[in-house]
Amino acid sequence: MSGIVSGKLAFVTGAASGIGRATCQVLAREGATVIGGDKNKKGIQQTIDEVSKLFRNNHSSVEISVNESKSVQNALQQIIQQYKQPPSIVVNCAGITRDNFLLKLSESDFDEVIDVNLKGTFLVIQTFAKALVENGINSGSFINMASIIGKIGNMGQTNYAASKAGVELLTKSAAKEFGKFGIRCNSILPGFIRTPMTETIPDKVKIKLLSTIPLNRYGQPEGLNK
């Protein structure tokens, strides 16, 4: 433990499993008070219970649907009510896939992925950054999970690729706007990480992805956060 974020308040979306859960564990290990956010109430409570056993602090969870403005605002208000301040660290890990080949992809599956992955990231950034600025907190860090798929594309994932490319450029644009407030915005572009979300990818697509990885193995959520 380096204590690099000791005393900081951190909010992590998509915290019920996968990268979000691992992020909560790392932030807590490094001294932050962690709030896990997810629409899966049981899953986020499990994450916070595990984190609290390992790293005692005033950790908590909040239910949130990142693609719904009212839900995001309610989550922020719950956090401020409990901690008397907005979090200065926000990690956007919430995301979904609805994979299919372009010629078979439904409009609803395209919309849903863009809605959660891109719009959801936008709503969380906008809502929580506004709270930092309005409270005169001149430091903050937003970390957004994009994806290497948003750079190189992938068969059967046109909607996901588009959403994650959007997240990367949303992050860069937000960084240019927020610099004057002392707020940093960065994105991470993971490769193939084994999570409940990626387990839904067809085996033939997984095999093709594996062939492009020099280490010939998939990543784990814990390794990403090291």
Residues belonging to the active site: 160
Q: In this structure, are residues 70 and 125 in contact, taking their beta carbons and an 8 Å threshold? A: no
Task: For residues 224 and 67, give the distance between their C-alpha atoms in angstroms, rounded to a whole number.
Answer: 25
Closest CA to 89 of 3, 164, 13, 167: 13
User: Is the distance from CB of 45 to CB of 63 less than 8 angstroms?
Assistant: no
Burial of 124 (0-12, 13-18, 19+ CB in 10 A): buried
> In angstroms, rounded to a whole number, what is the distance separating the alpha carbons of residues 86 and 141?
12
Beta strands in 43-194 (DSSP E): 60-63, 89-92, 140-145, 183-188
Give the CA distances from residue 25 to residues 3, 10, 55, 109, in Å, rounded to whole numbers and listed in that order.
13, 11, 8, 31
